[in-house]
Structure 1
Amino acid sequence: MATEHESPRPLADRQVCGLVRDVASQVEAHLRARAATLGLTATQATALCELTHPMTLRDLAERMSCEPSNITFVADRLEGQGYLERHPHPEDRRAKQLILTPEGTELRGRLIELLSTDSPLAPLAAEEQETLRNLLTRALIR
């Protein structure tokens, strides 16, 4: 309940922000647990999920909202495990593209399957998930 000095809108905003934070925390815990079953860190799992096509370290870092220098370590580990390779970029000879190996593609598929099992969003019907996605997208656009 809002106090006499507080309008209902800031209270509602705080409640929504708290719920978004709680859901994000559950999604992160779910990701960590599923990644661990495959011998991956959460960051490695996120990188695998984001590697939907060949991309540069900079592109991957942007998709993961972090610095390219942080992604270098993750890419090095995934490359060392045989899940990705670096290839010359076809248009920028200074850049390298990250490309999943067949083993990386297979692992990515297993990871996505695991992530969809008992997802924190599973209680929502497909239509509700779509509505939530649309609302969150609108909230991000400024």
Structure 2
Amino acid sequence: MSDEADCGTDLVVAELSGLVFEATARLRARFNAAAAELGLPPAQALVLVNLSGPAPMRRLADWLSCEPSNVTGIVDGLERRGLVTRRPAPGDRRVKHVVLTEAGEERRDQLRSRSHALTKTFFALPGPDQEHLRDLLARVLSDAPPDGDTR
């Protein structure tokens, strides 16, 4: 490939990266708006929306890309709201699992619904364009090396 072609490809990759980051920022803003409508800080909302079964605090820290010590405060806030409870892990009582309460399940469903409604307006493209974008993103993600791998 010529230097000119490399330069063109590099420009397209830079544009794609910028567009994906901008799209991510806008989607995050919509999610945060849905969380705010329900009186939830973004970190609590992320835990709530990702929690589908008992999960150890370490997994929550991985979802949030933060230290486990930060998760304690987030879970404390959700627990004060009556949305989660902590239970000892069956195999290791030192490990605490975070579990949604019935109120937490209801709030999670509300959050997902509101977030979906706001996201739907973001992707307001004709059906075939939505499907094409979905397929392209799925292909990029399936072909991408794992995080940290620089293949």
The bucket for the TM-score relative to the shorter chain is 0.7 to 0.9
Identity %: 34
- TM-score normalised to structure 2 length: 0.83
String of CA shifts for 1:21-70, please: whole Å, max 9, x gaps: 11011011101111111000111111111111110110111122222112
String of CA shifts for 1:74-100, please: whole Å, max 9, x gaps: 101000110000001001121010000
Please say which of residues 60-69 and 39-48 is displaced more in the overlay.
Answer: 60-69
Q: Does 1:121 align with 2:120?
A: no
Structure 1, unpaired ranges of 5+: none
Q: 1:137 to 1:16 in 2, by over 3 A?
A: same
Q: Is the contact made by 1:86 and 1:96 (CA closer than 8 Å) also made in structure 2? A: yes
- For residues 122 and 139 of structure 1, what CA distance do their matches in structure 2 show? 26
| Corresponding letter in the other structure for 2:73 | F
Structure 2, unpaired ranges of 5+: 147-151
Q: Does 1:137 align with 2:141?
A: yes
Q: 1:95 to 1:29 in 2, by over 3 A?
A: same
- For residues 47 and 126 of structure 2, what CA distance do their matches in structure 1 show? 26
| Corresponding letter in the other structure for 1:51 | L
Task: Specify which structure has the higher proportion of helix.
Answer: 2
Q: 1:139 to 1:19 in 2, by over 3 A?
A: farther
Q: Is the contact made by 1:121 and 1:129 (CA closer than 8 Å) also made in structure 2? A: no
Please say which of residues 36-45 and 126-135 is displaced more in the overlay.
Answer: 126-135
- 1:37-52 matches, within 5 Å, as 37-52=37-52
Q: 1:133 to 1:108 in 2, by over 3 A?
A: farther
| Corresponding letter in the other structure for 1:17 | S
Secondary structure in 2 matching 1:113: helix
Cross-structure match for 2:149: none
Please say which of residues 101-110 and 8-17 is displaced more in the overlay.
Answer: 8-17
Cα RMSD of the aligned pairs, angstroms, is 2.1
Q: 1:23 to 1:95 in 2, by over 3 A?
A: same
Cross-structure match for 2:26: 26
- TM-score normalised to structure 1 length: 0.88
Pairs aligned (count): 140
Q: 1:16 to 1:139 in 2, by over 3 A?
A: farther
